[in-house]
Structure formats: structure tokens, C-alpha cells
Structure 1
Amino acid sequence: MWFCKSKEEVLEEFKVSQREGLTADEAGVRLELYGENKLKAKPKKSLAMMFFAQLKDMLIYVLLGAAIITIAIGEHVDAVIILMVVVLNAVIGVIQEYKAEKAIEALQKMTAPKALVRRGGEVSEIDSALVVPGDIVLLDAGRFVPADMRLIETANLQIEESALTGESVPDDKHAEDIYKDLKLPIGDRTNMAYMSTLVTYGRGEGVVVATAMDTEIGKIASILDEDIEEMTPLQRRLAEFGRVVGLMAVGICGLIFAISVFQKRDLFEMFLTAISLAVAAIPEGLPAIVAIVLALGVTRMSKKNAIVKRLPAVETLGSVNIICSDKTGTLTQNRMAVSKLFTLGGSSDVPQEGENLEASSDELELIKTLVLCSDATYENGMGTGDPTEVALVILGERYGVGRKQLHSEHKRVGEKPFDSSRKLMSTLNEEAGGYRVNTKGAIDNILKISAYALVGGNVVPLTEEMRNEYLRVAEEMSDKALRVLGAAYKDVEAASGEDDMEHSLVVLGIVGMEDPPRLEVRDSIEKAKGAGITPVMITGDHKNTAVAIAKELGIADAIEQSITGAEIDELSDEALAGKISGYRVFARVSPEHKVRIVNAYRANGNIVSMTGDGVNDAPSLKSADIGVAMGITGTDVSKGASDMILTDDNFTTIVHAIEEGRNIYSNIRRSVIFLLSCNLGEVIVVVASVIFFWPVPLLPTQILWINLITDTFPAIALGVEPGDSDVMKKRPRDPSESFFAGGRGLRAVLGGSLIGALTLVAFYLGLAEYGYSLGSRGISEYALTYARTMAFVVLAASQLFYSITMRSSRKSIFEIGLFSNRFLVGAICLGLALQFAVVSIPFMTRAFKVQMLSQRDWGIVFLLAIVPLLANEIIKLFLRTGNEEI
């Protein structure tokens, strides 16, 4: 463990001089030995692999089998249609996956594209990929650490390590520190710097001790490949549906053919009918419809700042009932901000927004000292330097005490840099008639070096009661998860040295600072909770800090709802799963803890989403049902482990994604139920006619034609139904819920049965018009053709009209808006136009063996076709309090 060794031992072990660094030749040798300083990436799939991966589905296998059979019987047109649907589905999937991968590549950046190294006694900037173990690397503010390093020189060095530890406050680094505890947490190793962390203040040098996959990031990245990917809920349901429908289709084929043999019908004609019906029974448009609906969902998501890596992730996100969210940068803004001011004249809250704020004279003096005693800058909305000091400068700007003007009027002529042992920083600035010492730091240390206090503009002796009051307020702020900073000053006539600065000071007051929550997050959390989703905070912060923020955001109500990583270690996986539902905040956790937490929730049957941006989030992102990474602050490792990336790093976008996912799932289910109803109607018509030894009302080509016009455009149009405004007022689906739960299967059977029965009625009326009945023998070819035409039109039109009522399971078509889905209106009009063309254009009537109907019979078929729509609307009247949207 390098943090347990002295810097001299480390330099000796790597055979390198701090002054000279490695030679160019030695660096080349080590590059060959250790390889480039890059994390290993998974091999990319070729387009061919991506294409064939889309075909790994039971429903696709059944369709391919049907295509082979139709080719064998000479129905080449039907085979081409089936194969085109299969290929279309695969191509859509490949295009979306390819686009998603390209989007991810556009987001990914090197964690540290450049590094300052000393080689051959000269400092040069090289690609971080060329850094090797033993390199002497120079660090300064604003630069990423390119590899894991043992620090050998530090000067006020602070490194922000939230990517690894979850802590938003930068850590002080000291090269001279040496530790004996081999299990020391990463956040406490003050003599180390780690790859992908950011230097926020000071400077330093270090010797590289690990690169690429040997770094702490690399170790976490290697964990990700150990997990086994599972099917999403949508994939499982469609696989189940495909198997059921496939078996039903095969069974129906065998049943019809067997009965036909027994009845001594024309076996070749019945074989064609059975095959056609089997093809019709299988909703071959479903795979393409699902892919199209998901693809459109991905497009909408991208417009809402979310990039989806895998299409089913949209649906999965819509089914989650637990959101495990990292705090830093996800729920909070990942920046410090002053929220409290306190002087002996009183305390005040600092508004989150607003400029030209008013303050008392004592508070203005407090702010003035804090701004003068800082090295940060803030211009044009951008800050540089330590986040704490940036927050102080911003505070000054908001109260009209701007840094630029102050530093111009009160030039700094001396300073005593911050030191972690005394936890103070002091500057000496010009003041009217002399100079002023401005000091900031820990309030208890400031009180030790102060003799006076500013009260109402007057300097008075600092009493014990005043000291206790400062300490009491500081403790109250700490309990509210605020970082406390004190300030003091003293006027001097002449410039003094460092040793004379910090004694006999005048205490000004204290400020409380916080990493503020994102302004919109609380409303999003309330919306999520209203939708039956439980938000959970998982962070590396201390328990009190985490609970305070969780209370502010509405995630938790009491500290009893929190648990630390150390407490988790005392629980077995089974015990943790048993208690997990009582916690809302998990504090001081490691990457291993996060994975255990996610797995504990999943063990209770929850669908879990994990959001985060740091490397420490990556294993849990991978373990969760869906991982959501941040695109701006997120590391490459976390993006690679996620299913979805938010380009605006906004928790609110996740709630929007959940809403989109729920609507997408509902739309897919609408399409499935609609297709099932329509195909069941076709099956009932043929099976009933065979069983009762009636003439078959539909020819094979007619069945395939109806299947074509109803299984494509109307079903797709249902898949793009506008979102339900009430979808986030419902609880998440039960993960084990069937596609046909909540009475949907029964309503599909009723709808299909009604469509089938009405088709038989139309066929009967067509025969009756020429004096025949269903059981008649020797029916003329003309009468049979006319009856089949009526059945043909009723079956197609009833399915098209039925799609209107399928838009909602409980709202009437007038409540949701008859024309609010323009795509469906267009699909219905197109279908009716095509159907009219088939029975009116001579060459098409000959091809499909139909006739033009009389005006009277057009009225009859229209009335019959609209009955299923009216019947379902009547059912809705009795189910107004019914089930969630189909």
C-alpha cells in the first residue's frame, strides 16, 4: 500500500529521481511493459452481430417458420410480406442501437486528456494515455489527476474526490503523511491522488504508482463485467406472449386441418386456409410495432435531455418503484453556497436567488472580510478555485460587495496561507489610513486568537458569553448539515509579517454553507412519490449531512430512516433485505455497499433504478434494473455502466423519463390487446365455420389482406397515442404482472368474439339475400362470393373502428378527444379506403374474389362494423372507476 510508505521509499522502488523524472527511453520501455493508461473498453459489436441479435426472439422464430411454409405452398407474396416485417424489425433495432452507441461515443471524453510530467529534467505536457508508472506528474488547480499517484510534494493542495468518495468538499493533501492502517478508506488517504479526481486548489507533485486498470477506477470498472445482464420486464412479457401465440397458432392449424380431414373437405384448400389463419393469428406486426414505439420514445427522450443506450430501457424506467439516487451533483448542485449569516447583532437566511440583497453593517463587514480573504474568482457566471471560496465571492456579489472592486480598493500586500493544522487563512490588505488583517477559518480556532467582537458597528471585548453564543450557533448550523466558517479582522498601522497577523483579532461572525439541492428536485420527488415511487438517497457524506438534505428534499422524515455503511457491514444480505424498506438514506457507503443496497431492494421484488455520476456509482448502475448516468459530470465508467444518460444532469429529467416509460408501456399494451382482439375475431370466424361444417366465410388471401391493413398502421398509431395526463397518479405496475392483468385479457376475448360473431352475421345476411342459409348445400358461386364480400368488409371495418375505443380502457372517446390522435384517424381512413378499393376496382375484385356491394348492404356492413366500438364504450360506462390505462 503506497500510502503506508514514505515518498523516498516510493521513489526508490520506481527507480526515479524527483528532480529529473524518467528519461524518454525509460518511459518508452515502461509504456511497452504496462501498456497505455486507458481503461479497457468492451469490444464493439459489428452491424451483422447487431442485426442477428435482433432476431433472437420466439415470435421471430415462429414468423420465419411461417414464411418457410408459405414459400413451400407457393404463396410467395405472403412470404415476402412476412420476411419484410422481420427484416424491418431487425433493421429498426440496429439503427436505434447504432445511433445510441454513437451518441454515447460523442458524450465520452478522456478523464484526463493531458498531463504535466517531468522527464529528463524538463516539464512537458503529454497525452495522459502515455503516462507510465514511475512518472513524476505535476498537479495544479483545475487539472485532472491522470493516474493513481503517491504525492511527494504539496503546497495547499486540495483535490475534489467526489467521483470516488461522493464528498463534494475538496480534501486537503499532505505529502509528508504516512499511515499504518492498511484498510484506510480512500477519502482519508491524504498522501495519495487518484485518477479522474480534480485539483481545485494549490499545487503538488507525485510519482505514478498505478495506471489504467490497476487504478482505483480500473478496479471498479472491472467489477462491471462480472454482472449478468437480465431481460427487461418488456422483453420477458413479449417472450411469454410470443410463445403462447405461437403454440396457439400451431394448435389451431392442426385442429382445423384435422377437422377438415374428418369432414372430407378439399384438403388443399383447407391446408391453405389453416396456414393463412396461422399467419394471421400471429401478430407479425408486433415486433416492428414495439420497435417503432420504443424508437419514437427514444426520440422524445432525447428531446428531453436523455440518451437511451438500449430501447427496452425506456419501458424499464417506466416500471421502477425505487429510485436510488446519489446525492452529489444529482440531487444537489455540486457547488457550495452560503445559506446562513450570523453576527452578535442577529442571524439571517441567505435567499437562494436574487441580487442586490440587503444586510446589516456587521454582516457587510463579515462578507467583506470573507471576500478579501479568498483566492477564488467569479466572472460571467463562471467560478474558479476552491468551491468554498467561490461561494464566498458569489455571496459578496449578491450583497454588492464585489471581489473585483474590493481587491482593487484594498490591495493584498501579504498573506498567511491556509494550513490544515491551524485551519485558518489570513491576508493583509490596504485600508484607509493603514492596513487590515482579514482572517477566515474554523470558528473555534478564530475564537482562540480573538480578543474582541464587532457588535452594532462597535468593537467590544469578547466575553465568555459571546464565545459560547458563537459556538452554540455553529453547532446548530452543523446539525443542519451546514459547513461553518468564521471570520475576524484587526486594523494595523503598518504592514506586518505572518507571525503578527493572527492574534488579538475582532470576531465578525460566522457563515453556514451548504451544497444546495437543485431547485426543481423537490417538486420532482413529490411527483415521484405521488406516482408510488420511493426516492432513496445513497451517498458518501456523513449521516447528519445526508439526512438534513434528505429532509429538505422530502426524501426522509427522521434520522431513524438512515443507515451508514458501517452498520450495513454488520448485516447479512438477508437481514439487509428484510430491513431495507425502512430506510431512505444510506450514508458513508462504498461502491460495494451500493451494490448490496440495490440487490436488497431487488430481492424484495422491486424494480430498481440507480442514478449517479461518479465512478463509485458504476457498479450499482450496472446492478440495478436500469442505471441512469449523468452526461455532464458523469465519468466514462459510469456512462458505460448505465442504460440511460441524462445530458443535463437533472434529477427532474428522470421523473420525465419515468412518465414517458409508463406511457410507452401502455401504448405497447394497447397495440398488443388490439392485435389480439382482431386476430381472435379472424380465428373465431374460420374455426366456427369448420366446426359447424359451414362454408368458410374468408379465403386465405382475404385473411392475409385484413391482417395486413389492421396489424400495421392502426396498431402503430395506437402505439403513438398521446400520453395520459393521469399516468403519474397511478402506482407502478407489479413487476410480475401479466400483460393481460386487470381484466384486459377478458376484454380482448369479448372484443374478438364480438368481431368474429358480427362477421358471421354479415356472412349469413349475404347468403340469406340469395335464399341460402349457413347450412345450405349447393350454394352458388355468385352468392358465396357476395356473402364473403360482406364478411370481408365487416371484419376489416369493425377492426378499424374498434381501434378508436382501444385508446382508453375507462375514458370515452369523446373525453380523450375523437381526433386527438391524428395518426390513428389517418390509419383508419387509409384502411377504409384500401378496403373500398379492393371491392370496387375490377382487377382487385378478381384477385381477392369479391364483389361490389349494393348501397343497402354498405349500410348494413357499416352498422355491423360499428357495433364493437359502441359495445366497448357502453362497457366503459360501468368501469369508470376501473383499471389503469390499457
Structure 2
Amino acid sequence: MTLQQTSPRGLSTDQAALALAEHGPNTIPAPRPPSAWRRVLVQLRDPMILLLIAAAVLTAGLRDFTDLAVILVVVVLNTTVGVVQEIRAEHALAALSRLAAPHATVRRDGRATLIASAEVVPNDVVLLQAGDVVPADLQVFDAAQLQADESTLTGESVPVEKDTADQLYAGTVVTRGRGTGLALRTGSNSALGKIAALLSGQRPRATPLQRRLASLSRVLSIVAVSLSAIVAVAGLIRGLPLPDMVVTAVSLTVAAVPESLPAVVTLALAIGAHRMAQRAAVVRKLPAVETLGAVTIVATDKTGTLTQGIMQADRLWTECGWSIATGTGYDPAGDLRPLADRPADRATVRRLLRDVALCNDAALRLPTDDDPVWRAIGDPTEAALLTLAHRGAVDPDEYRAAYPRTHEVPFDSTRKRMTTFHEQPGRDDILVIGKGAPEVMLTPDVTPYGDITRAKGVAAELSEAGYRVLAVADKLMSPGGPRTEDQLHLAGLIAITDPLRHNAADVVAAFGRAGIGLLLITGDAPGTALAVADRIGVHDGDVVTGADIDDGKDPTSGHVFARIRPEQKLDIVSAWQDAGHVVAMTGDGVNDAPALRRADIGVAMGQGGTEVARQAADLVLTDDDLGTVEAAIEEGRRIYTNIRTFLRYALSGGLAEVLVMLVGPLLGFAVPLLPAQILWINMLTHGVPGVAIGAEPADPETMRQPPRSPQEQVLGAGLWQRIAWTGTLIAIVTLVAASWTHHTGGPWQTMAYLVLGLAQLGVALALRRPGLPGTRRRPRFLDTAVAGALLLQVLPLFVTPLRNLLGLQLLSAQQFLVALGLAVVPALAIIARRTAAGRRHDQRTAAR
């Protein structure tokens, strides 16, 4: 099929299915996942694993097959856990990529249809407007003020004008106007696909948190190696064999450093992002997960986030009177009734409805079996105008056929108006229609004809009542005359509302409890902004307008912003960031993209937003609901808290093991623990229980606490002190247990092994996130993981081959009970401190 043969109806559903089968999906082929052997080799390159392999070679040379067997078991299990975690993380991120896939509007079976960009096929008729990302290489055959940013391909920052002789290329962005094109090349055959193929082998970069933790791991490794060397030297001084001390030092180094930390962090971030997606927040950039926990300011649009995003044209005004619309959403069912005491003249109403149906680029999507609701295709405000026309018995399709558009000046956020030019049936003159913001349209230059003073007063009243107001005007122009947008005749005003979401006030209150400020930013009039702010609980006496910002007013002086141009959002975000805040900002338009990129967290609307906004954002809300941002921030806080909890757990255990090996000889224990025993304990405590801590649910109080400081170090806010006393306490009870058993003539080394391992597992349970008050405690992944590790910790005492392998001995019932009693002490101390801290917090809260 060639361009000349293309039907304006586009492909049929059957033709598109055949083309998709022939050409494949419109996607860039993903790089092949690494083979199983490559994954294993990557895990074996870990410095800690290399140390273990070196220790295995050494023990094999010394014919120490007991320690060799334990070391090999630890290497195999650690490698297996690492590979499994890597695969799970990749699967979670792949699922997110599918959820975040862009969409395109095509003409199928004669109707505008929204589909995933991956389903675009050659010869599809693609409809584009400002803010769309071009889904494939296209031949343009209809263009109105069409302009595209091709910097992604050419590096040229100046947008390029496009006409019907030009092509558009996949991955570029429509910055102005609208157009229609025929898909020529898709997938890897497109211009973007050929470039992407060169980059497909690159692996994703580590997140900032992962880089900070990797740096921390290097520091810990140096410290652990140094302390282990001290242990080895002390053993040599006491006359112990060099090979034994080398293996002991290596084992202790491995135990002291949480080598599973990178894998735990990667999995926690990926699974956290997947959980966000299940709560309608799709993470496009993994660092956003960790940044969410530090957000202090949320800057949000009114339309579609605080409100339902279902625009409703409720009433219209002409100089003759008022009409009121009935109906819900975009469903054309309903009618338009004159106001009883001030009815509008039917002819003037029909003229106004004709104008808004013609000066309009939107469409209405019919209900389907999968989605039995009328939907807007295009701008929601324009879709509301089409719905209003239907309710007033004006068929937009009939009028568009009778009044073909010959020219247009599209709407943009700077002009705040749109103008279209139309032929008229049976007449030579041209109908010119303009619509836009009242302050732009109702001026002596633009609309000098009509009762403008009265219209301004009505517009102000509607705006103060919370309505968005559009002014509509028209004129007749001679066919050969210049295309001008002024000297119009007033047709009327239309009042549009977007009902508040049922949870808007609750979300704002939740942000307040969490120490997060909310900025309400809208392009509507100050009266509308204040009306919405009062209803949702954003109490701010003054409204900062776009004109105020132009005059140099500090954007941090208020929380309610009105008549804001999209480019001014960048000024607002920058000002609050300069004041030390971490800013999340919502946006949906092409001009929001710079501010979305500048914000610490850019949040785009998945339903009503433009594709370019979604591509610029870190987070996409599939339900356009600000409450989803609250859920995402809670998830971000949960993940960061769990990573810190894992650090406390793992580093406390490592510190305890080092202290036992350092202090034990001073108490008369030449070798407090054998290398095999150290490695066995490390394998059980740092393995599955560590991963389970990363999956713990959020603390019920997490959204009642202030956000963490973005300057806070990973071990900051007192964490290293908690690690120090927890590790010290574990070491003390271990040494006390060993001393008591030694004093009574029992197997003190077995006692030290048992108490050291059980105490660490008890700490894991003590760090378990509390449940909601009044709810029954249910088993979690952490409970199961700790139970399994506890069983494997005790099992060698009762299984002879394992007991011999680890160098353990049987314990009496009394010794076993003493071990259990001492092992729970660190856990009880953690619970007691947390309970006391909770009481102090409650007392401070009550005092306030």
C-alpha cells in the first residue's frame, strides 16, 4: 500500500493484525539476557567470593577437607541466591517497562483509536498533536502549524517546521500544532531503532543509593580485612598454625562484610518499583524509588490530579441568558436546559455550540466491552465541549463535514487561545472562530463587538465559584482577505468544572502529617485556585500569580499559584529546591517537560497527559490520582527504611563475630569459632533472612514522620550507634555463654556457635516491622526465613555428619535452654528501647 492508496479511514483491524504478524511489534529488540554461566561468573567475580575461593584453594592444598566442604557450600549457595535475585529483579523491571510503554493515536476502521506504540504497523494512519512522541517514521500528509523537536536524532535544539512533503522520525517530539502521517518504518527499521541497536548492549547504571552503598562496602571491607588480620596475627603470636589463621581471617572477613548488600538493594528497589506499579504508580527511572522517601514538597496541577480529570461543561452564558447542562462525564446523553428566570435564546445557544464543536481537535471514544465508559481522545476540555454540543442537539461530526476547516492557529499555553477558519455551506465568506481564556479573548482588540464589560463580570463570578471559563467569539471574513484573529463578535462563555476527587482533602491532610508541603499550581484564575485550595485544606491567604513571578516575587512565599504558564513551573521548582527542599512535581503537557526533568521526582499523568511528559517523568500515574503519589512516597520510605534495617542487622552480626574473635582469646579461648562455623553462621544469617528484611511492609507510622534529610548518610541519624551497641550486646551474650559453659566443663565453642547465630536471628525478628494496631499478627516472609535459618542453625547439633563437618558437639538440655535464654537478650533489648522511644514520642505528641 502506497501513500496515494492510503484510505483516510486508516487500516482495518484485520489489516493491522496481518501487518503486525508480518513486521513484528514496533519495538527495539531487547538485548539477549546473559546466559546462566555468565550470570554465575559475574557472581563469582565478587571480591568476597574471590576471597572464599582463595581460601578454598588454600584449604584444599592443606588437605583440610572439612573447611573446604563448608567453604564450597557457602560459595554455591551465595552464588545461587545472587543469580536468583538478579533474575527476579530483571523480571520485575521488565514488567515495569511493559507498563510504562508509550501509546499512540491511530485511525483504525475509520475511528481514532488509542493503542500501545508497539502495535503501530507500516501504513497505519497516525494522528499527532503537541506533546506526542512520534511512534514510527512517518510521511506527513496533513499538517497544521506542525513543528517537531528532532534533537534526539540530530542534536539540533531548534524545533523543525514540518509540512506535507516532510517526514517525521520515531522518537522525536511534536512541540506545536497537529498533523497526520502514514507509518513508513517501525521498530528496528526506524531511524531511532537503528541508533538504539548500537546502544542495546549497555547495562543500566547503578542508582545513587547503590553507588553510596558500594562505597560503604569498600570501606567496610578495608576495616574487616584489617580487623581479621589483627585476629590472624594474634593467633600466630599465640603459636597457632599459619594456614589455620589465614583461613580464619578470610572467613571472618567474609562474615563481617554484608556481601549480599548490593543484591538485596537491587532486589528491594526492583520489587518496590513493581509494588508501586500495582498501586498505579509506574516507575520509569529506578533512582526515583529511593528519592521518593526524601520528598518534602509536592507541586501539583489541579486538573486531573486533585480533580477527577473528567471535564464537564455545566453551563453556558450568552448575552441573552443562561443554559444548564445535565449528564455525567463524556457521555453525550443528557440535555441543555434554559435557566428558568434567565433563559438563553436558542439561536444564540446553537451558534455558540456550533463554534465550540468546530474550534475543537478532540474526539469521544465509544464505550467497549472492555471499557464501558465514554472517554476523551485529545484534550479533556475540548472533549467536554463536544459532549456539551451533543447535549444541545448539535452533532459535531455533521457540522465538521458542513464547515470544513481550511486553516488554524493551534492553542498553546502562551497564547491561551485557539483560532480556526472554516468554509460555509452555500456561502463564499470564511467563518473564523476563536476560543480561549477570558482575559485574552475579552479585550477591545480581540473581541470589540458585544457586551464585553458584562461578559468580564460573569467570567469573574464563575471563576470565583471554582469554574474554568472559556470565552468564545467569531466573525465572517472575505475569502481573499488576510487571516486575522481579531475584530471578533462575542458568542458567549462556557463554564467548565472538574469535580474534586473524593480523596483530595484526605491526601492533602496525609501529606501534612508526613511533613510534606503541597503547592497547588494551576493555569486557572486566582478565584478558581483559591476555591479549590479552601476545599482541599490548603490554607494560604495569598495567591501567587504568573504576573507576580514575572515581577520578581519569590515563589516560596506562597503555596497556591494561579495563571501559571508551564515554563514558570520551572521557576517554582527551582526556587523551592534552592531553599533546600526535595520537590516532586506533577505535569501533563509538553511544556511541563523541563520542570519534570528539573524536579527531584517528575510525576506524569498516565491517562490525560501527553506522551512527552510521560517520557520526561520519573513516575507515571496510571490513574492520574494524587493519592497514588502518597502511596509511592510511602513505598519509597519503606524501601529506604528496610535497607537501613538490613544494614543494622547485617553489620551488627558482623561486628559481633569480629568482637568475639578479638576478645575471646583474652578470656582464654584460643580460637572462639572455627572458620567453618563462622561461614555457616554467615550463610544462614546473611542469606534469605537478609532478603526478607528488604521485603518487610511499611511501618504504620511511616507517613506520620517527617521526611529524611537528602544530605543524610546511609548510616546517619544514629544508625551506626545502634549497630555498635547491638553488635556489642550480641558479642557479650556469646562470650558469657561460652565462659559459663567453659566454667562448667561443657563444649564452650559449640555454645558460642549456637548463641551467636540464634542471637542474630532473634535481632532479625526484633527488627520486624510492627503491624497495625488491633490486627492479628500473621506470618510473613521474614518469619518463614528466620524459622528456616533457625532450623539449619540447630540441625548440625543433631545430625552427625554435619556436626562432624562443623566441629560441634552435643549440648545437654540445660545448656540448650541457657543458650536460648541468652540469645533472646539482644532482641528483648531492641524491643524495650523501641517501646520506650514510642512512649516518649506519644508523650511529646500529647504535649503538643
TM-score by length of 2: 0.68
Matched, 1:403 2:393: yes
CA distance 1:332–1:850, change in 2 (3 Å): same
Structure 1 Cα separation of the partners of residues 406 and 667 of structure 2: 96
Structure 1 residue aligned with 2:652, among 667, 677, 700? 677
Q: Secondary structure at the match of 1:307?
A: strand
Alpha-carbon shift at residue 267 of structure 1 (Å): 3.2
Q: Is 1:259–1:691's contact at 8 Å kept on the other side of the alignment?
A: no
Q: Secondary structure at the match of 1:403?
A: coil
CA distance 1:641–1:77, change in 2 (3 Å): farther
Matched, 1:806 2:799: no
Partner of 1:702: 677
Q: Is 1:325–1:611's contact at 8 Å kept on the other side of the alignment?
A: yes
Structure 2 Cα separation of the partners of residues 50 and 550 of structure 1: 56
Structure 2 Cα separation of the partners of residues 759 and 140 of structure 1: 70
CA distance 1:248–1:855, change in 2 (3 Å): same
Matched, 1:789 2:750: yes
* CA-to-aligned-CA distance 1:199-225 (integer Å, 9 cap, x gap): 999xx9999xxxx9xxxx99xx9xxxx
Residue type at the aligned position of 1:275: V
CA distance 1:279–1:872, change in 2 (3 Å): same
Structure 1 residue aligned with 2:730, among 737, 741, 755? 755
* CA-to-aligned-CA distance 1:479-529 (integer Å, 9 cap, x gap): 7673244799xxxxxxxxxxxxxxxxx999743235666565554344334
Residue type at the aligned position of 2:762: F
Structure 1 residue aligned with 2:831, among 873, 878, 883? 873
Alpha-carbon shift at residue 801 of structure 1 (Å): 2.1
Q: Secondary structure at the match of 1:723?
A: coil
Equivalences for residues 71-110 of structure 1 within 5 A: 71-74=57-60, 75=68, 77-78=70-71, 81-82=74-75, 85=78, 88-89=81-82, 92-93=85-86, 96-97=89-90, 100-101=93-94, 103-104=96-97, 107-109=100-102
Structure 2 Cα separation of the partners of residues 485 and 50 of structure 1: 65
Residue type at the aligned position of 1:706: I
Alpha-carbon shift at residue 69 of structure 1 (Å): 4.0
Alpha-carbon shift at residue 291 of structure 1 (Å): 2.9
Structure 2 Cα separation of the partners of residues 632 and 645 of structure 1: 9
Structure 1 vs Structure 2 CA RMSD: 6.2
CA distance 1:254–1:428, change in 2 (3 Å): closer
Residue type at the aligned position of 2:458: V
Q: Is 1:162–1:614's contact at 8 Å kept on the other side of the alignment?
A: no
Structure 2 residue aligned with 1:856, among 814, 836, 839? 814
Alpha-carbon shift at residue 838 of structure 1 (Å): 0.9
Q: Is 1:326–1:617's contact at 8 Å kept on the other side of the alignment?
A: no
Alpha-carbon shift at residue 265 of structure 1 (Å): 2.9
Q: Is 1:128–1:146's contact at 8 Å kept on the other side of the alignment?
A: no
Partner of 2:457: 472
Residue type at the aligned position of 2:820: F
Structure 2 Cα separation of the partners of residues 841 and 185 of structure 1: 74
Q: Is 1:86–1:288's contact at 8 Å kept on the other side of the alignment?
A: no
Alpha-carbon shift at residue 688 of structure 1 (Å): 0.7
Partner of 2:777: 819
Structure 2 Cα separation of the partners of residues 128 and 62 of structure 1: 50
CA distance 1:303–1:680, change in 2 (3 Å): same
Equivalences for residues 415-814 of structure 1 within 5 A: 469-477=454-462, 482-485=468-471, 510-514=493-497, 520-536=503-519, 541=523, 544=526, 547=529, 551=533, 557=540, 561-563=544-546, 567=550, 585=561, 589=565, 598=573, 601-633=576-608, 637-770=612-745, 783=746, 786-808=747-769
Q: Which moved more, 1:605-614 or 1:299-308?
A: 605-614
CA distance 1:727–1:709, change in 2 (3 Å): same
Q: Which moved more, 1:237-246 or 1:721-730?
A: 237-246
Structure 2 Cα separation of the partners of residues 48 and 522 of structure 1: 48
Alpha-carbon shift at residue 711 of structure 1 (Å): 1.6
Partner of 2:220: 245
Structure 2 Cα separation of the partners of residues 230 and 411 of structure 1: 54
Structure 2 Cα separation of the partners of residues 756 and 420 of structure 1: 78
Partner of 2:414: none
Structure 2 residue aligned with 1:257, among 232, 238, 253? 232
Q: Secondary structure at the match of 2:671?
A: coil
* CA-to-aligned-CA distance 1:826-873 (integer Å, 9 cap, x gap): 223222322332101122221122222222222222211222222223
CA distance 1:680–1:334, change in 2 (3 Å): same
* CA-to-aligned-CA distance 1:735-766 (integer Å, 9 cap, x gap): 12133334333232222222211111211222
Structure 1 Cα separation of the partners of residues 286 and 400 of structure 2: 58
Partner of 1:360: 339
Residue type at the aligned position of 2:340: S
Residue type at the aligned position of 2:233: A
Partner of 1:433: none
Structure 2 Cα separation of the partners of residues 141 and 683 of structure 1: 62
Structure 2 Cα separation of the partners of residues 694 and 251 of structure 1: 21
Q: Is 1:565–1:587's contact at 8 Å kept on the other side of the alignment?
A: no
CA distance 1:852–1:682, change in 2 (3 Å): same
Q: Percent identity?
A: 31
Q: Secondary structure at the match of 2:258?
A: coil
Q: Is 2:605–2:620's contact at 8 Å kept on the other side of the alignment?
A: yes
Q: Is 1:547–1:562's contact at 8 Å kept on the other side of the alignment?
A: no
* CA-to-aligned-CA distance 1:715-754 (integer Å, 9 cap, x gap): 3332222222221121110112133334333232222222
Alpha-carbon shift at residue 240 of structure 1 (Å): 4.2
* CA-to-aligned-CA distance 1:780-804 (integer Å, 9 cap, x gap): xxx4xx2222222222222222222
CA distance 1:691–1:144, change in 2 (3 Å): closer
CA distance 1:100–1:184, change in 2 (3 Å): closer
Residue type at the aligned position of 2:818: I
CA distance 1:566–1:661, change in 2 (3 Å): closer
Alpha-carbon shift at residue 558 of structure 1 (Å): 5.3
CA distance 1:239–1:676, change in 2 (3 Å): same
Alpha-carbon shift at residue 546 of structure 1 (Å): 8.8
Alpha-carbon shift at residue 657 of structure 1 (Å): 0.9
Q: Which moved more, 1:597-606 or 1:864-873?
A: 597-606
Q: Is 1:667–1:719's contact at 8 Å kept on the other side of the alignment?
A: yes
Equivalences for residues 826-845 of structure 1 within 5 A: 826-845=784-803
Residue correspondences, number: 735
CA distance 1:343–1:58, change in 2 (3 Å): farther
Partner of 1:277: 252
Structure 1 Cα separation of the partners of residues 613 and 621 of structure 2: 12
Alpha-carbon shift at residue 550 of structure 1 (Å): 7.1
Higher-Rg structure is 1
Partner of 1:493: none
* CA-to-aligned-CA distance 1:359-402 (integer Å, 9 cap, x gap): 733567568645576648766424579865642454577xxx56
Q: Secondary structure at the match of 1:338?
A: strand
Partner of 1:778: none
Q: Is 1:234–1:316's contact at 8 Å kept on the other side of the alignment?
A: no
Partner of 1:293: 268
Q: Secondary structure at the match of 1:878?
A: helix
Structure 2 Cα separation of the partners of residues 584 and 729 of structure 1: 24
Structure 2 Cα separation of the partners of residues 448 and 864 of structure 1: 90
Alpha-carbon shift at residue 139 of structure 1 (Å): 9.4
Q: Is 2:650–2:690's contact at 8 Å kept on the other side of the alignment?
A: yes
